[in-house]
Amino acid sequence: MTTWANMNLQDSASPIMEQLIYFHDHALMIIVMILTVVTYMMIMLTTNNFINRFLLEGQLIEVAWTIAPAIILIFIAIPSLRLLYLMDEINNPTITIKTIGHQWYWSYEYSDFLEAEFDSYMIPQSEMNNNSFRLLDVDNRVALPMNTFIRIIITAADVLHSWTVPSLGIKADATPGRLNQTSFLISRPGLFFGQCSEICGANHSFMPIVIESISINKFINWISLMNE
């Protein structure tokens, strides 16, 4: 979860988010290099008193400033396309859950288990305790096993929503009448917070998402209690 004055990305809790952070650092390094070279050239041009006799017709430099950006774009495009394919890959998920966006709460269905469904509302400030996170905690958290490949199917019952958990690298639109799907693997235990990322009405800011990553044994015990 982010904290005050934190300018970095959230710590990754899934392999996809790790790759997203690596790609962010890779692209940022290229941008800094370009900015450094362009700044140096601008300073040299403004402080240089000499005149270039061949400035109006220089085929060599025109070829250079055409090929160099093309090479830079290739270095950005290749890892970007690789990451896009990795994010869309869904191969034999162990667990499938379904989430439905409402104004203004989320409901969840564990499709692989009988009668395992619930609504998840934000805890009002008047009902919070000292261990709750203001505007982020919910009454029913989504319990999921770690180190397990999970597929999530996302839709909405009324208007557009967006199911987003930054530390897992997930952001998928919840569209009425349409099923979107994505997948993830949680690599460590803990609480992971998210929020609706699509403006969906007056209480758009008050429908948070909380995922509780637990061991497989604890998840089996939890789902057994849900089915009783």
pLDDT, tens digit, 9 for 90 and up, residues 195-220: 889 898 888 888 999 999 988 888 88
Q: Cα–Cα distance between 148 and 110 in angstroms, integer?
A: 15
Q: Which CATH architecture has domain 15-88?
A: Orthogonal Bundle (1.10)
pLDDT of residue 228: 65
Domain extents in the chain: 15-88, 95-226
pLDDT of residue 54: 67
Q: What is the mean pLDDT of residues 153-163?
A: 91
Q: Which whole-number Å values give the CA distances from 152 to 25, 100, 109, 110, 222, in the listed order?
A: 28, 11, 10, 10, 19
Is the Cα dihedral 73, 75, 78, 84 positive or negative?
Answer: negative
pLDDT of residue 1: 59
**Tens digits of residue pLDDT in 31-89:** 999 999 999 989 988 888 887 776 667 778 888 888 999 999 999 999 999 988 888 88
Annotate 24-82 with three-state secondary structure.
Answer: HHHHHHHHHHHHHHHHHHHHHHHHCCCCCCCCCCCHHHHHHHHHHHHHHHHHHHHHHHH
Class of the domain covering 95-226: mainly beta
- What does pLDDT average to over the chain? 86
User: Does 14 score more than 70 pLDDT?
Assistant: yes
